[in-house]
Amino acid sequence: MAEAMRDDLAEQRERLTEGLRIYGGHYTELGRRFAAWLGLHSTDATAVLEIAAAEERGTPLSPARLSERISLSTGATTALLNRLEGAGHITRTREHSDRRVITLHSGAHIQERADEFFGPLADRLDITMSRYPPELLERFEAFVADLNSAMDAHLAEPGTTTPRSARHP
């Protein structure tokens, strides 16, 4: 009986993990389609979305933080920002008391385009989530936060980008 219960729990965890993997795939595909819709490379569109989302949260990104968020080298991030700024998609400002600190901002048209593209999905997701009681959503929010913490901890470990076969010949 206990073994059957463990098997059921393991299967449930597998289904949840698979559902989250599929959700992540959908999120990636939406980013790809948004990039194509804007006529941008997917990395450029991802950067624009990261900049706009950080601004919306009230915590604008620095180039270094953007580089971490989108996993690009400093040089590649500089080239990307030059392209985006040249096209009018972003601006770099020095609004901090330390004038060396650069803050990234999205162009007004980017937020409008993102709202136009993602608005219908946001409405659909809101309708879907409204079917669940707030207590369950709070628990799910905590669950997702815990999963993100576990992923962050794993990604911070040395060697997560090197295959074991390359580490131990």
Across-strand partners of 104?
A: 92
Q: Please indicate, yes or no, if residue 4 is contained in any of the structural domains.
A: no
For the stretch 129-166, pLDDT in tens is 999 999 999 999 999 999 999 998 998 888 776 666 66
Q: Please indicate, yes or no, if residue 94 is contained in any of the structural domains.
A: yes
Q: Where are the alpha helices (DSSP H) in the chain?
A: 2-38, 42-56, 63-70, 74-86, 108-129, 134-156, 164-167
Residue 45 CA to residue 37 CA, distance in Å, equals: 10
For the chain, what is the domain count?
A: 1
Q: Average pLDDT over the chain, rounded to whole? A: 90
Q: Which one has a higher pLDDT value, 106 or 2?
A: 106
Q: Please indicate, yes or no, if residue 167 is contained in any of the structural domains.
A: no
Q: Please indicate, yes or no, if residue 118 is contained in any of the structural domains.
A: yes
Report the C-alpha dihedral over residues 109, 111, 115, 117, rounded to 10 degrees: 60
Q: Please indicate, yes or no, if residue 143 is contained in any of the structural domains.
A: yes
Residues 34, 114: contact at Cβ < 8 Å?
Answer: yes
Q: State which residues form the domain around 131.
A: 13-156
| pLDDT value of residue 81 | 96
Q: What is the rounded average pLDDT of the residues 114-133? A: 96
For the stretch 14-59, pLDDT in tens is 999 999 999 999 999 999 999 999 999 999 999 999 999 999 999 9
Residue 101: pLDDT above 90? no
| pLDDT value of residue 167 | 54
Quickly count: other Cβ atoms within 10 Å of residue 83's Cβ.
16
Q: Please indicate, yes or no, if residue 8 is contained in any of the structural domains.
A: no
Residue 149, domain CATH: 1.10.10.10
Q: Please indicate, yes or no, if residue 166 is contained in any of the structural domains.
A: no
